[in-house]
């Protein structure tokens, strides 16, 4: 049998994080290869999903301990919190770093991530949020640099950075405060869409207050977990009856040299941290109650008994009320485990609030339910796992919590070997991280590729391929949008002649791009099943500004009034009919002109569009009678693969040529 006296207490957790990381890497590859449509369940009704809300909005909120603890430790000079400044900075660095990293997968054109630094839109909340988050991430790196430089032996540079730490902290407090309020302000632009329980004129203030309380509670949990894993002798506490309660890491405190220690040395600091956080959560609770009282429509929805009111109740009870009550109970305040439980509930409540505000709160107005895909979950958990692995690396190799990392490697290795079952090979023989990670990668990577590959499970999302010419003149085209083999031989020239020559193009090509007379179907109907957005809003704003000669710092923003009605929300419903300006250059038919701008926003899936145009004509009694073919509207008329063997050639003469 094999024994190891230095077994890592976090090894199994790290194995899980590595598994999720490798799964996330495969999902990230598919996201870039196939795009948002094939890898997410996002829609225009619910455009923000897990990546934006959980990774960015909630992730940044949970990482606020960096500026709150920095303020308490460096600005107010509270000694109890000075020991937590480094861990808080690490949490902020990883939280904001993972949020920015996840943002690359959420934006439609990730290779343009640098545009906000160059193309300024000072009227956008997101512009300010992006700048503050980016610069605060840089500030957290500068705050963390003294710890990194000390480990690398750059003492002189470490001294300079250490003396400038207070300046970095003050800058970080400013940036973090700005962007948290702006994150809340993002939701002020949708008062009609966001559910009344989560919309509030005070949402910007509520965002920063709740983030301060929940972020401090998360740091409390992290501190207790670190002590549990790396300092098990500091987890003793005393009950109300005076009895010593042992921690899970020690069998008998007296036999392990701990003497009669009655409480953890860090318990006073943890207790104070919990008290301050509970006080902030209490202020947040008062703001919530006052806001509901002042807004009767919100109070009415709270007592309506629908699923939103229950979800709001879970958020407030578990995330705010219960943690506050627990911190006020004396027996809880004497237990690090109980305080950590209160902190975990508060952190969960903060995360749930952000998810409710950014996702669930829009379901009723959107009329659709958003269910994240497996790839969305894989990327979300993968980013969080990467941050977790980075956290373990930093605390085990740098002076973050204490100097215990210096002892690593100095302990002797006591191993005895013998033949035993396979579990001991994994738990005791594979001691190095490289061996374990390599084995995990070999197993996880190919399985993830199989189970997450969109082309295996969601072929309907494939982009449509242009038709293939059967002859040089392109008189006959082979239509096979997704190259799945169920093709159609389309006699294009014969159809054009039969329907009236070149003047008949509008029968099928019902809408053309500006300046074009017969835009190919695949130009707009770009996906086999899912609709495609065919209106480039940004390009249109720039075009209108240029054609109208609009001026100003951002002339494209002045173009909104050219299309949208005044004093109304700038949505598709308030926009002018597109054909008021494009009646000549887009050559629409009367049917499309009647649909107006609503018919311009999205193009149906290729499969739906082709069947909608072809079958409508083929299935009419007039056409069946004209060509004496009652089966003209059947699938076999167009699709050669499903034709009966004895079908006469004349039966498919309208649309198909035989191979």
Q: Quick check: helix, strand or coil at residue 479?
A: strand
Check: CB of residue 509 under 8 Å from CB of residue 524.
Answer: no
Tens of pLDDT, residues 253-270: 444 444 433 445 577 888
**Predicted local confidence at residue 40, as pLDDT:** 86
Alpha-carbon dihedral sign for residues 427, 429, 432, 435: negative
What DSSP designation does 69 have?
Answer: H
- 412 pLDDT exceeds 60? no
Encode pLDDT of 520-549 as tens digits.
Answer: 788 888 887 777 777 777 778 888 888 878
498 pLDDT above the threshold of 70: yes
Q: What is the pTM of this model?
A: 0.67
Residue 511 pLDDT more than 60?
A: yes
Q: Name the nearest CA neighbour of 97 among 35, 128, 67, 139.
A: 139
What does the pLDDT look like over 541-566, one tens digit per residue?
888 888 878 877 777 777 787 788 77
**DSSP 8-state class, residue 320:** I
Q: Please list, residue by residue across 118-136, b when 16 or more beta carbons sit within 10 angstroms of its beta carbon and e when fewer do.
A: eeebeeebeebbbbbbbbb
Percentage of residues in the chain having pLDDT higher than 90: 19
pLDDT at 295 over 70: yes
**Residues 76, 81, 86, CA angle at the centre, nearest 5°?**
110
Higher-pLDDT residue of 11 and 642 is 11
Residues paired with 489 in a beta bridge = 478
Q: In this model, does residue 60 exceed pLDDT 90?
A: no
The better pLDDT of the pair 411, 561 is held by 561
Residue 199 has pLDDT above 80, yes or no: yes
Averaged pLDDT score across all residues of the chain: 77
Name every residue whose Cβ is closer than 8 Å to that of residue 338 and which is 6 or more positions away in sequence.
Answer: 326, 331, 332
Residue 603 is inside which H or E element, if any? strand 602-603
**Would you place residue 478 in the very low, low, confident or very high pLDDT band (cuts 50, 70, 90)?**
confident
Tell me, letter by letter, the H, E, C secondary structure of 244-256.
EECCCCCCCCHHH
CA nearest neighbour of 221 among 95, 342, 114, 44: 342
Mean pLDDT in residue range 50-63: 87
Least confident range of 84-88, 174-178, 313-317 = 174-178
| Average pLDDT of span 273-292 | 93
pLDDT higher at 298 or 655: 298
CB atoms within 10 A of CB 634: 16
Closest CA to 390 of 153, 215, 171, 140: 140
Which pLDDT belongs to residue 457? Answer: 65
């Amino acid at each position: 049998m094999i024994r190891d006296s230095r077994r890592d207490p976090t090894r199994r957790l790290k194995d899980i994080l590595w598994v999720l990381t490798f799964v996330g890497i495969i999902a990230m590859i598919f996201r870039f290869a196939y795009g948002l449509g094939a890898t997410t369940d996002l829609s225009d009704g619910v455009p923000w999903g897990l990546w934006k809300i959980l990774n960015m909005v909630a992730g940044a909120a949970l990482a606020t301990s960096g500026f709150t603890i920095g303020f308490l430790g460096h600005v107010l000079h509270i000694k109890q919190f000075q020991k937590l400044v480094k861990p808080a900075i690490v949490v902020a660095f990883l939280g904001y770093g993972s949020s920015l990293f996840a943002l690359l997968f959420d934006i439609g054109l990730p290779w343009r991530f640098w545009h906000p630094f160059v193309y300024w839109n000072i009227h956008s909340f997101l512009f300010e949020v992006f700048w503050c988050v980016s610069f605060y991430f840089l500030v957290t790196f500068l705050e963390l640099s003294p710890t990194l430089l000390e480990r690398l032996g750059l003492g002189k540079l470490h001294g300079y950075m250490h003396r400038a730490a207070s300046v970095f902290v003050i800058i970080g407090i400013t940036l973090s405060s700005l962007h948290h309020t702006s994150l809340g302000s993002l939701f002020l632009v949708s008062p009609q869409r966001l559910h009344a329980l989560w919309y509030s004129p005070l949402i910007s203030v509520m965002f920063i207050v709740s983030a301060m309380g929940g972020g401090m509670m998360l740091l409390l949990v992290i501190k207790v977990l670190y002590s549990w894993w790396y300092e098990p002798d500091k987890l003793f506490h005393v009950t109300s009856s005076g009895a010593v309660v042992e921690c899970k890491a020690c069998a008998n405190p007296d036999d392990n040299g701990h003497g009669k220690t009655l409480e953890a040395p860090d318990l006073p600091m943890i207790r104070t941290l919990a008290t301050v956080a509970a006080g902030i959560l209490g202020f947040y609770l008062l703001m919530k109650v006052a806001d509901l009282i002042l807004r009767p429509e919100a109070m009415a929805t709270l007592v309506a008994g629908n699923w939103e009111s229950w979800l709001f109740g879970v958020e407030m009870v578990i995330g705010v009320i219960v943690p506050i009550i627990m911190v006020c109970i004396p027996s809880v305040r004497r237990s690090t485990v109980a305080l950590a439980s209160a902190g975990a509930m508060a952190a969960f409540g903060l995360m749930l609030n952000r998810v409710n505000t950014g996702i669930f709160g829009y379901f009723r107005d959107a009329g659709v339910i958003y269910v994240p895909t497996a790839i969305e979950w894989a990327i979300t958990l993968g980013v969080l796992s990467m941050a977790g692995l980075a956290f373990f690396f930093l605390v085990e190799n740098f002076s973050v919590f204490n100097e215990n990392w210096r002892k690593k490697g100095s302990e002797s290795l006591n191993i005895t070997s013998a033949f035993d079952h396979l579990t001991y090979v994994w738990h005791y023989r594979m001691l190095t991280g490289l061996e374990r990670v390599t084995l995990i990668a070999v197993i996880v990577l190919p399985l993830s590729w199989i189970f997450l590959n969109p082309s295996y499970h969601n072929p309907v999302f494939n982009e449509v391929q242009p038709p293939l010419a059967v002859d040089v003149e392109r008189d006959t085209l082979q239509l096979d949008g997704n190259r799945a083999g169920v093709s159609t031989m389309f006699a294009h020239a014969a159809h054009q002649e039969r329907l009236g020559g070149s003047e008949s193009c509008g029968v099928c090509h019902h809408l053309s791009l500006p300046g074009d007379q017969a835009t190919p179907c695949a130009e707009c109907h770009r996906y086999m099943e899912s609709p495609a957005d065919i209106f480039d809003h940004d390009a249109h704003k720039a075009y209108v500004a240029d054609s109208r000669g609009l001026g100003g710092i951002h002339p494209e923003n002045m173009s909104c009034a050219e299309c949208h009605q005044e004093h109304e929300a700038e949505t598709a419903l308030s926009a002018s009919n597109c054909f008021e300006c494009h009646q000549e250059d887009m050559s629409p038919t009367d049917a499309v002109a009647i649909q107006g701008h609503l018919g311009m926003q999205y193009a149906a899936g290729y499969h739906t569009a082709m069947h909608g145009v072809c079958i409508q004509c083929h299935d009419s009694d007039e056409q069946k009678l004209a060509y004496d073919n009652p089966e003209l509207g059947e699938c076999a008329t167009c699709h050669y693969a499903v034709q009966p063997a004895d079908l006469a050639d004349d039966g498919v003469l309208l649309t198909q040529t035989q191979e």
